[in-house]
Structure 1
């Protein structure tokens, strides 16, 4: 096998596109196949850098740091949709600093005056905040600019893929079905996009394992409000009741949001697994298959780290 063989990526979300860019920029030919490009779950992401309920930490830490460095660099170009934004993560009861806090140089505990009413503790820090529709368009243009080709087609089996020297499985929720992996499950998420009433900092609440999330992510003229985390649900249909509840929860923290005009709802199904799978495998005929899935709600956070791991795993 030589490096001139075609690499086929299955999956058009942030993981597939980022992996494609990493492979192309390593000098390899890449063809990406997916039913939708970009994928709807990635479009629906918030998205703020931060490892969110993913394991194993030893690998997640390394992958997250790689992505953090890339996003810091991209934040210098407005066309990427990536910005470094300060804000607060708070809780209504006492909580410890998350493991990933050591990765951020300005991470510190909030003073009481920095917390909204009803919150007893929290932390202030600066992280990349990503406007996903804009960022995914940037990734797609970077992918095609590097010579990558795309094809809109549903892939139900790796056996459907012909003339591939390597297959890379970045199919999100569908990746588990392709790999016959019963450990993959959906966690439905919904965000509401509203007109920005003047918010410049992010806010997120540490809600533990609750399905009702509270996050406020400003993106210039709009704000993405979240959210939900419904275990086992994969429907991408908008839930208007959930949308109203999201706005109400966020407006309770930031009253200016109460009358902000609603622009859209975005719905995705986080492809969740007990551990992220970045691993080498093979098809029945011996064609190498590299898996890159199971990122849950941390697909953006892990994207560049996992993509570069895939490059290192190539069998040539």
Structure 2
């Protein structure tokens, strides 16, 4: 299908926006990303992707769409790891521990056993004290500070264009009168094509948590699920793990290629608080060394003192969750341009909650399939 003459705008430069823009370029579209924040910028609560853990643990037990997106994404990453061993993603063993095992947990275990090919239940001799159930399988761990620039560089290398701006609405991009200031990104870019025509064949909306506030979307079903984590220096930790406490809380560790480890976490619904809370940091540390004593330096594990954790950073991110689940569909936007009514197709791709990385390529492919269906009618 010939798409090379068609210009497409992608709004948002998180993991979903970048992945979708790459897939659109690969499909032959001329793609420009518009975003306020890009990989490499100072961290901001507005930009969820930079705060993510992230690993690939499927929770799509009852959501067929998310299950499909996660499975395709897992397959894509396995292929990328073979093609490019330098990609900042690792295959690591995951261990799931639980202090209690409820009837509902069996649904989750059955799902995981079908999703991950080497899944197995741990023997009782393999369980830590106080744990009644455990499982293990191989999964993916993302080095987020490296993976986001990897995506951006791949997008630019494929011929993509990036412009920094703050958009009050999607339609502001298409209105010369209302269009905000645009800045070429990166500032050193030598793109000789000049600015886009601002007459796109379609706009792809990948605004994440911003879908709640950006004009022409204003999706009140979008809300934050606040996550607070610690970045710990522990290069000796090589396993991805979750620990399900009897009170319902979950602790987890996610190793990165850099030798840093994520220790989480919290899942606080509709909580917009943008900075760490001392009481949460204290709980993360205390539960972290109880569930995962390997976070401590080998010579410090006997005493299990939280002060011996090498904490590099306290982080807070707002997972872009949505009532009804992820939204990957089409709509349209009609506006007056020079006294003439025009209709622009919109492809929405947002609302992934905490599953953005693990569903990114599947979501991107579906969004581009929808894009092709609306621009080639």
Q: Quick one: distance in 2 between partners of 1:118 and 1:74?
A: 39
Q: Quick one: distance in 2 between partners of 1:208 and 1:58?
A: 29
- Structure 1 position 213 matched with structure 2 position 250: yes
Q: Quick one: distance in 2 between partners of 1:20 and 1:282?
A: 19
Equivalent position of 1:61 in the other structure? 67
Structure scoring higher RCO (CA < 8 A, sep ≥ 6) equals: 1
Match 1:99 to one of 104, 107, 111: 111
Q: Quick one: distance in 1 between partners of 2:314 and 2:77?
A: 25
Gaps in structure 1 of 5+ consecutive residues = none
8 Å CA contact retained: 1:193, 1:222:
yes
Gaps in structure 2 of 5+ consecutive residues = 40-45, 175-197, 296-305, 336-342
Bigger radius of gyration, 1 or 2?
2
Instruction: Tell me how many residue pairs correspond in the alignment.
Output: 313
Equivalent position of 2:77 in the other structure? 71
Q: Quick one: distance in 2 between partners of 1:118 and 1:250?
A: 15
- Residue 231 of structure 2 aligns to a residue in which SS? strand
- Residue 80 of structure 1 aligns to a residue in which SS? coil
8 Å CA contact retained: 1:67, 1:303:
yes
RMSD: 2.0
**1:218 Cα deviation (Å)?**
1.6
Cα deviation 1:48-79 (Å, max 9, x = unaligned) = 11234x68621111111110011112334453
- Structure 1 position 121 matched with structure 2 position 128: no
Query: Do the aligned partners of residues 66 and 208 (structure 1) sit closer, same or farther apart at CA in structure 2, a change above 3 Å counting?
Result: farther
Query: Do the aligned partners of residues 241 and 153 (structure 1) sit closer, same or farther apart at CA in structure 2, a change above 3 Å counting?
Result: farther
Equivalent position of 2:360 in the other structure? 303
Match 2:318 to one of 263, 269, 274: 269
Runs of 4+ with deviation above 6 angstroms: none
8 Å CA contact retained: 1:75, 1:81:
no
Matches within 5 A, 1:22-61: 22-38=23-39, 40-52=47-59, 57-61=63-67
Equivalent position of 1:281 in the other structure? 331
Query: Do the aligned partners of residues 207 and 8 (structure 1) sit closer, same or farther apart at CA in structure 2, a change above 3 Å counting?
Result: farther
8 Å CA contact retained: 1:55, 1:275:
no
Q: Quick one: distance in 1 between partners of 2:362 and 2:266?
A: 26
**1:194 Cα deviation (Å)?**
0.7
- Residue 274 of structure 2 aligns to a residue in which SS? coil
Equivalent position of 1:260 in the other structure? 309
Q: Quick one: distance in 2 between partners of 1:207 and 1:157?
A: 43
Q: Quick one: distance in 1 between partners of 2:370 and 2:52?
A: 28
Match 1:90 to one of 66, 77, 97: 97
What TM-score do you get using the length of structure 2 for normalisation? 0.78
Q: Quick one: distance in 1 between partners of 2:326 and 2:61?
A: 6
What TM-score do you get using the length of structure 1 for normalisation? 0.93
